[in-house]
Amino acid sequence: MSIGASSSCFYPLETKESLEEIGKLGIHTAEIFFNADSELSKEYLGELNAVKDFYSIKTDSLHPFTSACESFFFFSRYKKRFFEMTEYYKKFYDAANEIGAKYLIIHGARFPCEVSEEEYFERFSYLAEVGKRFGVETVQENVWSMCSGDPEFLKRMKNYMGENFRFNFDVKQMKKCSFEIEDFLPEFSKDIVHIHVSDNKRGETCLPPGKGEFDFDILFNEMKKVNYNGNYIVELYRHNFSSPEEIKKSCEYLKKKLNFVEK
């Protein structure tokens, strides 16, 4: 279990340069958010690995740059496109293997979805089975504009998928949907394999950890109960912080809070 940061924090800086920023801050755990098809090439992945090795960074998760298109790719009524895009996503599973990532994070379909919930769950399960062949877990994230923003939808998805359900819990997305942590935990505690952290306060849903009012002790305590050993990844938008040092301070703040909980 580690505290780290997502390369998306520095968007629109190029992905490789974003990873370098994380390394320069002395942060040794990162999530990679790809931003172009060319970044999935062997050459570019090699460059990312060179940055990882130089700064001793571990990456256990990646985000596809096609997240905004997943409704169209996977959850429309045009089933032929679903199978073609599943083939395309094998490039992300390959990339995950190249950079040592265990998880591919999926946003899913916008609400309302074109297909039925059962069809959504069936197609997600199919994609997850493809990922398993590469040794990669396909993980559903809660996102405010998507079906997955609703914990009731996620409960039904979990019931359908059973032990194959994997969840990426995102704090800012929870707040954007006006939900509270109690709406997700402990219901999904055992299903969570990855967590995006940020802070919040009235009127602001995405702040650097330590700059708001979110009770991280509740989150850490709930996850400790289920022996969570995944990572806590700081994921902010570039306009949410003034300098890279704030990302470093956020990670240090979270480490102190986590150590306090673990005593």
Residue 151: cis peptide before it, omega within 30 degrees of 0: no
pLDDT-based confidence at residue 259 (cuts at 50, 70, 90): confident
Express each pLDDT in 90-112 by its tens digit: 999 999 999 999 999 999 999 99
**Alpha-carbon gap, residue 13 to 126, rounded angstroms:** 34
Residue 262 has pLDDT above 60, yes or no: no
Express each pLDDT in 119-176 by its tens digit: 999 999 999 999 999 999 999 999 999 999 999 999 999 999 999 999 999 999 999 9
Where do the domains of the chain lie, and which CATH numbers do they carry?
3-262 (3.20.20.150)
Q: pTM here?
A: 0.96
Express each pLDDT in 7-34 by its tens digit: 999 999 999 999 999 999 999 999 999 9
Region 180-195 average pLDDT: 98
Q: What is the pLDDT of residue 261?
A: 67
Q: What is the CA angle 128-131-135, rounded to 5? A: 125
